[in-house]
Structure 1
Amino acid sequence: MIHVAKDDLPKLTPLGYAAEKLTKLEVYVGALVVSQSTWETVVTVKREAQKRWKLDAPAMFELISDLFENMRFAYRNNEDLQGILDEISEGDSNADAIMDLARLGTLGNNNSGPLTDIGFDIEKCNTALSESERMGALLAEVNGSMYDDDETKVIRDKAYTLTKHYVDELKEYGKFVFRKDEEHVLHYSSKYLRDRQAEYRRNQQEKEDTQEEAVN
C-alpha cells in the first residue's frame, strides 16, 4: 500500500493528506517488522528451552535421587554430613534442584572416602557439578527470559499501535479519493477484502468460461 500511495500522493495531498506522514509510516513499518521479528525470536528461544527442559529434567532428578540415596547410606554415621543432606533436601523448586546438584556434587567430592567404600562411582559427583551449570543455564532461558519477553512484546505492541494509526489514516484517504475506482481502491483495503475480491473475480471468470464451453 505504501508504494501505491507514493504514486497517489498528487491525488491524496490536495484533500489534506500530509506527505510526511507517508514517510513516517515507512519508518514505523520498518520498526514493526524488526520488533516483531525480535519478539518472535525471544518466544521461539523460550519454547525450545522449555522442550529441552522437559526432556532433560527427568535425568537430572534421577541423578539427584541417586546421589541422595548413596550419600545417606555412606554418611549414615556422620551427623554433620547428614545435617548437610537435610538442608539440601529442603527445597522443592526447579531452581532448588539445580542447587541440589551443585551442593551434592561438591559434598561428594569433598567427602569421597565413604562413597568409594560402598562402591559408588565418584565421577557422578563431577557429573552433578557440570549438569548443574548446564541445567541452570537452561532454566535461565525458560524463566529468566520472561523479562526480555515482556520488554520485546511491549516494544512490538507500541510499534504496532503507531503503525496502525498511520495505516488507518492512509486507508481512509485512499478509500475516499479512489471510491469510484473499484480496482484501485482495493490497495487501501484489508488483505481479507482484497483476497475476497480476487476470489470473486476468479469465480466470475470460471462461470464465464463454463458458459462459453456450454455454448460451444
Structure 2
Amino acid sequence: MNKNLVSIRPQLLTNIQNIALKDIITPTIPIAIYLQEIENIAVWATDDLTALNKVGITANHIKDLKDRINACRSFQTEWLKLKNIKPTKQKECEELRHVASKQRDELVFIYRYAFRNNIAALKEIKAINKKNTTAELVATLANLIRIGRTYPELLEKISFDFTQLDKGKELGYKLQGQHSDFVTTTPEKDKIKYLRDKSYTHLKHLADDIKNAGKFVFAKNKERLKGYEIAYYKKKKAYLKENVNSQ
C-alpha cells in the first residue's frame, strides 16, 4: 500500500472499503474545499463540546471526524496522482506507436521489393496485419523481424541496413512495456477513485451528524450557529442571487 495510505487506521480503512458502491454519495463540492470546511467545523465543535455533549457528541466523535478527514485527503491525493499520470502515459504511448507504425510500414515497403521474386517470402509480407491496436502492432513488428532474418540473402542484394531489424525489435519491447504500464494504471485508478468516493461518503455521514447537532444546539445562537454551516454553499448562493439580480 502507498505510504500515504498506511497511516489510515485498519478499522477505519475496513469501514471505508465495506461501503457498497450503491451507497456512495456523489460530492457536490470540490473535495479539497469540502475537507477544509469540515476541518473548520471540527475546530469549531471542539470549542462547543460541553454544549454538544448534551446531544451525544463527544471528543471521540471529533477525533473520529479528523481521522476520516485525513483518510479522505490521502485517497484524494492518490486519486489526483493517478488521474494526472494516465494522460501523460497515454501521450507517450501514442507517440511511440506512431514511430513503430512508421518502422512497420518502412520494413513492409522494403520487403515487398526485396522479396518480389520469391513467392513464399512475398506471401508472408502480404499476410502482414496492418491493424492499429498496440498488441497487433507489437506482434507485427516481431513478425517482420523474423521474416527479415529468415531471408537475409534477399535483403543483402538490395544493401539492406540490418540495424533496422534491431531498431524494430527495440521499438516492439518499448511499446509493449509502455502499453502495459498504461493499461495497468486504469484498474488502479478506478480502485482509488472508488475508495476516495467511499472515504468521502464515510466522512460526510459523521460530518452531517456533528453539523446537525450544532445547528440544533445553537439554533437560537447566531454567533455559534454560523460555525456549523458550509461557507461554500452560502457564497455560491449569494453569487447566484447577485447575478440574477444584475440581469
One fold, TM greater than 0.5? yes
* Contact 1:106-1:129 within 8 A present in 2 as well: no
Q: Across the two proteins, how many residue pairs are aligned to each other?
A: 199
Q: Look up the match of 1:99.
A: 139
Q: Look up the match of 1:121.
A: 161
Q: Which amino acid aligns with 2:156?
A: T
Compare the two structures and name the one with the higher helix fraction: 1
State the alpha-carbon separation in 1 of the partners of residues 175 and 227 from structure 2.
Answer: 51
Q: Which amino acid aligns with 1:96?
A: E
RMSD (CA atoms): 2.6
State the alpha-carbon separation in 1 of the partners of residues 139 and 164 from structure 2.
Answer: 16
Structure 2: any 5+ residue segments left out of the alignment?
A: 1-40, 240-247
State the alpha-carbon separation in 1 of the partners of residues 208 and 234 from structure 2.
Answer: 16
Q: 1:126 to 1:191 in 2, by over 3 A?
A: farther
**Deviation for aligned residue 1:10:** 1.4
Q: 1:67 to 1:11 in 2, by over 3 A?
A: same
Q: Look up the match of 1:68.
A: 108
Equivalent of 1:184 in 224, 231, 240: 224
Secondary structure of the corresponding residue to residue 145 of structure 1: helix
Greater gyration radius = 1
State the alpha-carbon separation in 2 of the partners of residues 103 and 145 from structure 1.
Answer: 28
State the alpha-carbon separation in 2 of the partners of residues 197 and 68 from structure 1.
Answer: 64
Q: Which amino acid aligns with 2:55?
A: L
Q: Give the TM-score normalised by structure 2.
A: 0.70
Counterpart mapping for 1:116-195 below 5 A: 116-193=156-233, 195=235
Higher relative contact order at CA 8 Å, sep ≥6: structure 1 or structure 2?
2
Structure 1: any 5+ residue segments left out of the alignment?
A: 200-216
**Deviation for aligned residue 1:86:** 4.6
Q: Look up the match of 1:27.
A: 67
